[in-house]
Chain A
Amino acid sequence: MQCKDLEFVLESEGLGPLPVEAREHLAGCSACQGYLADLNSIVLAAKTLPAEVTPPDRIWISLRARLEAEGLIKEPILVPEPSSWWQNFSAWLRPRTLATATAGLALLAITVFVTRTSYQSHPNPGSQQPVTTVSRPAESSLPVPAPTSPVVPVSPKLSADNSVPGPRPSKVKELAPSPSEAASLALNIAERDVPDMELAGNSQVDASLRQNLRTLNEFIAECEQHLKKNPQDQLAREYLYTAYQQKADLLAAMMENGRSEH
């Protein structure tokens, strides 16, 4: 066997076990030995290169947008059947509709919460904290009282204090449910109807949506607990805000896709 014959064997058989003749040639040819050793070291080095690389998230976001733009994503569209005015009215009163509205209002409450939080974090130096402008947006935006939702504790002393005319900023603040509590309240109302819904017409997807909701709830509870202990922790507050916002988004998406069984 000649060197060029060995090359032909390597081309057709690869670097695996070589035929006897090829091995005999290799034993006596240092050039071919070096050649084979080099190829082996290249293959070994190539195996150290990653076969998988995690792509940036923006690719999927952009891809999804293009899929939607091209109409490749076909989400099921529910066509409402024609109904009489009283049916429409009763449909409006269905919990799902109310819940959707509540989720929207929760978003509003969160927005106010963030605005207020950032205002409190960076107060304007030289100006007094305006007492009368402490807003209660979520409270006023809630259409129905929530019996299952957390109640903000109000001590009798504070109630009495509140009856005294004149500005008492800290007490008034304590009396009102904070925007974060109001947001939580609104989201809880919205969430009440989710268990009864068939969300995506697919039990696995439904389960997954609910699992996501559970994860978010756990995270929110953890944030709230942490904030009770460390009210000044801005990072935790920011996480909580993000979680509220995401929960509102998730609930809104669930309700939009869902078909109420009521």
Chain B
Amino acid sequence: MCSSIVIPGTTLGAIRRIRTTSGAATGQLARQRPPQPVAWTEAEAIRLAQAGNAAAFEFLYRLHGRRVYALCLRMVGNPADAEDLMQEAFLQLYRKIGTFRGESAFSTWLHRMTVNVVLMRLRKKSLPTDSLEETLEPDSENSGPKRDVGAPDLRLSGAVDRVNLERSIEKLPPGYRTVFVLHDVQGYEHNEIADIMRCSVGNSKSQLHKARTRLRELLQEEIRDQAREERKAAKTQSGSLD
């Protein structure tokens, strides 16, 4: 939370520290961080937001914004789209906040809205290679990635890093991606995901397994491609030396 630049022993250091500390950033105090009541609970903030209180809107935004933004970012893979989607999700949330009765957790409600906004956007983009329906439909015999049972595989252990994992997540079909990000990255339980995605717990489990299996294939492809590139580069280098 605190990105302080401190020059010890100087007043100016203290000035800079105040200016760059997010909680009491005077540099942003009046415009970007309007006063927030410290002691609000989420329920109080929701009640006030339902009455149109601007500070309550911001309180809820600050409370959940980082998770929602991470979800959007992971789902679309680029910050500009993620910002747009996050704004859209919160806008929809605030438009409908008057109808929130607390039947499900507020965060679940918000995430459901976010997922819907993201999937709607992805559906509009309609990438020809990824069929959204394929991944959102309940399990069928032919859906999902396949594993050649018993066939020799390229082992991933030790080869999975953040970069190639993120790249592979982006290649997942949207439905798989959503469940994988919610469960394995954001730590939601299957019952919560089922609530967010409006599907059964079994379906959530199945989608997650398929997502992981598909990711494994994608990562194997990544690793093979990398190895191929390295070989090609080595060959070119040895050719130029000859």
A and B found bound together:
yes
CB pairs A–B below 8 angstroms (9 shown): A14-B208, A45-B162, A48-B162, A55-B83, A57-B28, A57-B32, A219-B15, A222-B15, A229-B11
Residues B12 and A39 in contact, CB atoms below 8 Å apart:
no
How many A residues face the partner with a CB closer than 8 A? 75
How many B residues face the partner with a CB closer than 8 A? 73
- Assembled-state Cα–Cα distance A230/B54 (Å): 41
Residues of B within 8 A of A131 (CB): none
The residue in chain B whose Cβ has the minimal distance to the Cβ of A253 is B30
Partner of A249, one of B31, B73, B87, B165: B31
Q: Does B138 contact A (CB under 8 A)?
A: no
B residues at A contact (CB < 8 Å): 11-12, 14-15, 18-19, 24, 26-32, 35-40, 51-55, 57-58, 61, 65-67, 69-70, 73-74, 83, 86-87, 90-91, 94-95, 147, 149-153, 155-158, 160-162, 165-166, 180, 184-187, 202, 205-206, 208-210, 212-213, 215-216, 219
Q: Does A38 contact B (CB under 8 A)?
A: yes
Near B by CB (< 8 A), chain A positions 21-74 give: 29, 31, 34-35, 37-39, 41-64, 66-67, 70, 72-74
Residues of A within 8 A of B73 (CB): 53
Selecting from A2-10, A120-128, A136-144, A175-183, the interface stretch reads: A2-10
Residues of B within 8 A of A64 (CB): 54, 57-58
- Assembled-state Cα–Cα distance A55/B63 (Å): 12
3 closest A-B pairs by beta carbon, nearest first, are A74-B52, A204-B37, A46-B184
- Assembled-state Cα–Cα distance A84/B15 (Å): 50
Residues A51 and B61 in contact, CB atoms below 8 Å apart:
no
Given known contacts A39-B213, A64-B58, A72-B95, A222 and B66 CB-to-CB distance under 8 angstroms? no
Residues B149 and A7 in contact, CB atoms below 8 Å apart:
yes
CB distance from A160 to the nearest CB of B (A): 35
- Assembled-state Cα–Cα distance A73/B151 (Å): 60
- Assembled-state Cα–Cα distance A67/B34 (Å): 15
Given known contacts A38-B216, A63-B90, A204-B37, A49 and B74 CB-to-CB distance under 8 angstroms? yes
Partner of A246, one of B31, B58, B161, B205: B31
Residues of B within 8 A of A73 (CB): 52-54, 57
Partner of B152, one of A31, A37, A200, A209: A31
- Assembled-state Cα–Cα distance A73/B147 (Å): 53
Residues B216 and A42 in contact, CB atoms below 8 Å apart:
yes
What per-residue 1/0 map shows which CB atoms of A222-238 lie under 8 Å from chain B? 11011001100101100
Residues B57 and A42 in contact, CB atoms below 8 Å apart:
no
Partner of A70, one of B38, B95, B184: B95
Near B by CB (< 8 A), chain A positions 184-238 give: 200, 202, 204-205, 207-209, 211-212, 215-216, 219, 222-223, 225-226, 229-230, 233, 235-236
Partner of B212, one of A37, A43, A53, A243: A43
Residues A42 and B160 in contact, CB atoms below 8 Å apart:
yes
CB distance from B187 to the nearest CB of A (A): 6
Given known contacts A47-B184, A246-B30, A11 and B205 CB-to-CB distance under 8 angstroms? yes
CB distance from B233 to the nearest CB of A (A): 25
